[in-house]
Amino acid sequence: MPENRPNILLIMSDEHAPMFSGPYGHPLVQTPHMDRLAKDGITFTNAYCNSPLCMPSRMSFMTGRYIHKIGAWDNAAPLRPDAVTWAHLLRDVGYDVVLSGKQHFGGLDQLHGFREQLARDLHAEKKHGLTDWDNGTPAAARPWGGPAQAGPGTTEEIRVDDLAETEAIEYLRDPERKEQPWVLNVSFIAPHFPLVVPQRFWDLYPLDQIDLPNIPQGHLENQHPVYKRMRRMFGCVEFPEDLVRRARAGYYGLITYLDEKIGKLLQTLDETNQLENTVVIYTSDHGEMNGEHGMWRKSNFYEASSRVPLQIMFPDKLSAGKRIDEVVSLVDLTATLVDIAGGRSQEQFDGDTLLPFIQDTKTDWKDYAFSEYLAHGVQRPMAMLRKGKYKYNYSLGDAPELYDISEDPGEFHNLANEPKYQAICRDLETQLLAEWDPVEIEKQVRESQKARILIEKVTKGQWRRREQSNT
């Protein structure tokens, strides 16, 4: 990057599957500002999260390391206080690094290298239930309430996102921004459920125009056991068509609501004459199934859950309109942030900088993404390796899956049992297991679960005894 280091505006959403946006080809979802990023910047068409769940994905992104290396197993396993993040590394080279909104830090440290939190992190404020794999994957007591809740209105999540936008714009307008290079991480909850959105966004998506999930006849009955168990545990029943349309309309409305916020941030950069020296990045922590494959939320390796949008707009516009089809992941974005800022290279990073794509100097790229899932909804470790056009899914104790994403983007045809694909399965499994030991990881995860369950149990017991002694 040039010596006059650029500012960085990093916009992160929560639970946005890229195929539900204009730049990634959806015919209904209105995203004019994401479209602008695609027109004036670079769009990565095959970007993946490194774990399809909020806190693990974000902690992996913050550190540039896979979750089994940092112990960020689930939404109740906070990042260690001695973990070095990209925020630390960018402050180390002179950037002002601040956060506005969600980054889902658990535990006492709510900054992990950021100088300041400008707004609120609603999800970090909430208590998350503990996962216990000893219980398996019990069926939900009732259907998931997301579709029934969908509709026009407002929520605490909307108010928190509005605050994150307001505080971010105030930060950008402050004259002090001229005094040193800055990184502003604006992180929104949208389009994460609840699927409730202000009326004017709801009105953009009449229910009779909403597309339905693509679920071929017989697919759910023949689905891989991992997904059957997850659907049962998450209460993903076969919802009536009218509820499915409402849920998807709410999701689409939230995406457009988010897109408007992206536009306001870009407008502020323009009005303050900072756009010409600011790298703008948009991504998400993971996707949302949105009814596809009979599933909602995330926590699996289907494309709608594990793929994320990734768009980067550079001030010089030399790469305007470029689309990159090679496979990348969020740990690569971490390395890229540090590279853009001129920070110290970290040997422990699991990702590689994307700048060669941007500067047209790429000679050889690994063309793969690794993702893992070690939380609720499953009962043993799961991992995915997307390499080239193939996606290989591994679940300890279950049969593997292999999909040719170029020929079967819907992931309906598991090739793992077909004789002519056995060599590909072996090669991908060998690569996946080379540095990922599911047996050892399962041991570590279960030990962590038991320790946290014990701590919560005795802590609650102490509080009960204190309350009784005071009455």
Residues known to be catalytic: 54, 104
Which helix (H) or strand (E) is 102 found in, with range?
Answer: none
- Taking alpha carbons only, the member of 24, 23, 36, 27 closest to residue 275 is 36
Q: What is the largest CA-CA distance in the chain?
A: 72
Kindly tell me the burial class for residue 408, based on how many C-beta atoms sit within 10 Å of its own C-beta (0-12, 13-18, 19 or more). Answer: middle
Kindly tell me the burial class for residue 135, based on how many C-beta atoms sit within 10 Å of its own C-beta (0-12, 13-18, 19 or more). Answer: exposed
- Taking alpha carbons only, the member of 23, 29, 34, 40 closest to residue 263 is 34
Count CB-CB contacts under 10 A for residue 347: 5
Helices (H), 220-286: 225-233, 241-271
Give me 279's structure tokens.
């790298």
In this structure, what are the phi and psi dihedrals at residue 433, rounded to the nearest 5 degrees? -85, -5
- The answer to whether 100 and 118 have CB atoms below 8 angstroms apart is yes
- Taking alpha carbons only, the member of 288, 301, 289, 296 closest to residue 403 is 301
Residues 6+ apart with CB under 8 A from 198: 152, 153, 154, 158, 253, 257
Amino acid at 462: Q
Give me 91's structure tokens.
């402050």
Amino acid at 425: C
**Alpha carbons 266 and 282: distance in angstroms, whole number:** 11
Residues 6+ apart with CB under 8 A from 35: 22, 23
**Alpha carbons 223 and 412: distance in angstroms, whole number:** 9
- Taking alpha carbons only, the member of 223, 344, 382 closest to residue 292 is 223
- For residue 191, cis peptide bond before it (omega within 30 degrees of 0): yes
Count CB-CB contacts under 10 A for residue 410: 16
**Beta-bridge partner residues of 284:** 13
Buried b (16+ CB within 10 A) or exposed e, 26-54: beebbbebbbbbbebbbbbbbbbbbbbbb
